[in-house]
Amino acid sequence: MYDVVGVRFKKAGKIYYFDPGDLSIQKDEFVIVETVRGVEYGRVVTPRKQVGEKDVVLPLKKVVRIADQKDRLIVEENKTAAKEAYDVCSDKVNEHQLDMKLVDVEYTFDRNKVIFYFTADGRIDFRELVKDLARFSGQGLNCARLVSEMKRKCLAG
């Protein structure tokens, strides 16, 4: 059995389990965790509980710390930067006359990566767009195509 807390990164997002270690973490607290995308900020939606091996992805990553006011400010700054990145990307999509719809933009908590979510009916050659966005962002970026169900969840928040 594994001692875990459930963390969600988006309102309608999947719940991921993390090892709380010795931290006293309550439901609805915000925490900083290490993920495959890097350091992230999320809300504890499942309080500490025991789960079996089949319910966790091993190796189980630890909660780094309980988030503080400085972390909350970083999240707000990232949201502001994401809005700017959205506007830049939207302009570039129009400039390159790409048949795609930009849905959302988000930065990872540590700002090492910016992710652009989009939908498109057919295949899109957006290599020039990616080059423009890389020049704008100055960091790693991903363009993620959303299917209908994912689009609905993403827009739900």
140 with 112: CB under 8 angstroms? yes
Residues 77 and 151 in one domain: yes
Q: What are 42-70's pLDDT values in tens digits?
A: 999 999 999 999 999 999 999 999 999 99
Residues 62 and 108 in one domain: no
Residues 61 and 82 in one domain: no
pTM to 2 decimals?
0.82
Residues 58 and 86 in one domain: no
Residues 94 and 118 in one domain: yes
Asked if pLDDT for residue 126 goes beyond 90, the answer is no
Confidence band for 149, pLDDT divided at 50, 70 and 90: very low
Mean pLDDT of all residues in the chain? Answer: 90
Residues 22 and 88 in one domain: no
Evaluated on CA atoms 150, 13, 78, 58, the torsion sign reads negative
Which strands, in side-by-side order, build the sheet including 38-51? 15-18, 2-8, 38-51, 30-35, 63-66
Q: What are 72-116's pLDDT values in tens digits?
A: 999 999 999 999 999 999 999 999 999 999 999 999 999 988 999
Asked if pLDDT for residue 157 goes beyond 60, the answer is no
Q: What is the percent of the chain with per-residue pLDDT over 70, rounded to a whole number? A: 92
Q: How many domains does the chain have?
A: 2
Find the domain containing 60 and state its range: 2-67
**Of the ranges 5-9, 29-33, 107-111, which one carries the lowest mean pLDDT score?**
107-111
